[in-house]
Chain A
Amino acid sequence: MLRIKDLHASVEDKKILKGINLEVNAGEVHAIMGPNGSGKSTLAEVIAGHEEYEVKKGSIELDGEDLEDMAPEERAHSGIFLSFQYPVEIPGVSVTNFMKTAINESRKARGLEDMPANEMLKLIREKSELLDIDRKFLSRSLNEGFSGGEKKRNEIFQMAMLEPKLAILDETDSGLDIDALRIVANGVNKLRSEDRAIVVITHYQRLLDYIVPDYVHVLHDGKIVKSGGKELAVELEAKGYDWIKQETVA
């Protein structure tokens, strides 16, 4: 589904990604781990089409289609979802209103009419029940005054609503206590499916105890330096990132 070939990307002439190769198929969960500053979040944002980054070389394809000339919203329409590490606040815009707008914009892009209100309500009810979200929460302003846990849950709720092909979860575990982490991870697990690919970006192994990946990749200095199964995450936790750094130097 997702195919990244020799991807190089920079921000203001600073090279951050230096030749990423990655292939993720439908139904798979991949974890990307790595020390701070290794380029994990950059990779997520480059896939989503953030204009701050310049792709210098290489390509990203989704279902065989090159994403290069696509604006972020077009990538979203074609099924890419990014769960943000730091979800932004939009005062005065309720979660429901935001989702309604997002869904209808995607439908518009596909030449469909707005989703009828009753269908929308049904969808909201269904997804909030699935993720055990109090519906009062949905009438609050988007992310305004939300706790860390609420923000991340809200991201997963949006993912459930938008039903993406490819979901990238950027440090979904950061800032969460163990209870919140469990709730969010359970939500993600409920959204695993045959035709959906999930890329989990994380610094720590603990999230992967709950969202068990099929593959683990270690990113270091803008490159994937090691790939393996879920046991790689455990090994990494035991030996620390220095182990990777030393191995690469050697």
Chain B
Amino acid sequence: MAYTEEELKKELETKEYEYGFYTDIESDTLPKGLNEDIVIAISKKKGEPQWMTDWRLDAFRIWKDMEEPEWPNVTYEKPDFQNISYYSAPNKKPKYNSLDEVDPELLETFKKLGISIDEQKKLAGVAVDIVMDSVSVATTFKKTLAEKGIIFCSISEAIQEHPELVKKYLGTVVPKKDNFYAALNSAVFSDGSFCYIPKGVRCPMELSTYFRINEAGTGQFERTLVIADEESYVSYLEGCTAPMRDENQLHAAVVELIAMDDAEIKYSTVQNWFPGDKNGKGGVFNFVTKRGLCEKNAKISWTQVETGSAVTWKYPSCVLKGNNSIGEFYSIAVTNNFQQADTGTKMIHLGKNTKSTIISKGISAGKSQNSYRGLVKVNSRAENARNFSQCDSLLMGNECGAHTFPYIEASNKSAQIEHEATTSKIGEDQIFYCNQRGIDTEKAIALIVNGFSKEVLNKLPMEFAVEAQKLLEISLEGSVG
């Protein structure tokens, strides 16, 4: 049953068409600035139904009257929102003709991560011949999912094909008016992923946006919606360990998770957007709103490894609405050079016997600033709610900063909340000890950092964990003189 190469090529071509990719790039970028006409134009370009256009317009009107938040512990030049183009069709034209034209530093990093040549080409934007493997994997993959009734597609496709689900759930966990960037995303989101797991189904494989690389480019304003119906289970992987370079400076994604009664969602992220150069020039601003809703006995685990972006502002949260529901947050945030991260979580306990766990590991090097910000809120009706939080910071050098901002609001006397925090520094004595055993300084740091992050790395799916480990090493390279 082997495909011929011709057939594959044809299939890919039709796919592109299916998802509304255009070859004429020049004419497909909207003018800079944001107003109602632009919002309508975006919706039109994507061929969306009227209800979606109205939804976007509503979000835009809310956004217009909002102000950019000032409270995160980061400083950056505020983007000029009228100087951004909010829509350009995914760029399908290769940027380079061969790998020789690509920045050698980038290639070196690919090599260290063990990324295959074909994948390297794809990531760097080099023209690729059709790779038999990845296409056939994607095809088998889709078939298996379809058999189980699992829907996994782009959000644009879901709006067309499954409007009843999108209509019902979009914006229910992260409302349009939630915050400045969520409102902006709601108005102009470019694309993203949609996933629905039917009642009682255990998704047989890790769902990964990786499989969708061919089908939709990740946009500036990504929108993800994952719905796990009753008694279902899904593990979802987002992102890529390979460095993502993007000319768009501002990224504002929204991710919504819905775990119905007895369902479980594991959501793992490895984020490695371009952090800017060693002097702090350039780099992506990553302002993300991620939130999950747990119904009765449901469980949501967020696991994230954050190494990229110049400025990060991100708090994957859980609303523990149903009784006995569980929320977990495991995070490693690395900042080096001039990076700034303000990240953490919110655990909102509404139901009885709800439990949450927060394990946050911050690693700061260079002149970077790394903040943990977390809220544990126990509602008056949430009997016997429990939380355990642990925030550890590791400092390298004398010019970086680690900050912890824990907020606790308990309105029920039966709540049990524990918070532990430590700050440590990679000591010269630790380095010398490793050196004396034959381990050079760079490797020693990697070893110490991996040890420090182990509790979180262990939560990642196996192959992701291995990549994440390498990524930590690379992110901290050259951070000790």
Contact = CB atoms under 8 A, between A and B. Distances in A.
A46 to B, nearest CB: 12
B443 A101 contact: yes
Nearest to A102: B437
Given A105-B438, A109-B438, A92 B432 contact: no
A88 B427 contact: yes
A105 B439 CA distance: 6
Contacts of A158: 437
A106 B450 contact: no
Contacts of B453: 92
A9 to B, nearest CB: 16
Interface in A122-179: 141, 158, 162
B451 interface: yes
Q: Describe B's contact surface by its main secondary structure.
A: helix
Interface stretch (A70-78, A202-210, A215-223): A70-78
Contact of A90 (B440, B441, B443, B447): B447
B437 A162 contact: yes
Interface string A94-108: 000110011101100
B448 A90 contact: yes
A188 interface: no
A31 to B, nearest CB: 21
A98 B430 contact: no
Interface string B436-463: 1111110100011011111100000000
Interface string A34-62: 00000000000000111110000000000
Contact of B443 (A48, A92, A105): A105
Contact of B436 (A76, A89, A92, A109): A76
A76 B448 contact: no
Nearest to B458: A92
Contacts of A103: 438
Contacts of A84: 433, 436
Given A71-B440, A105-B440, A93 B435 contact: no
A113 B427 CA distance: 30
B80 interface: no
B436 A48 contact: yes
B451 A93 contact: yes
Nearest to A45: B432
A91 B432 contact: no
8 contacts: A71-B440, A72-B436, A75-B436, A82-B436, A89-B430, A90-B433, A92-B455, A103-B438
Q: Which 8 A-B pairs have the closest CB atoms?
A: A92-B451, A93-B451, A72-B435, A76-B438, A102-B437, A92-B454, A106-B438, A88-B433
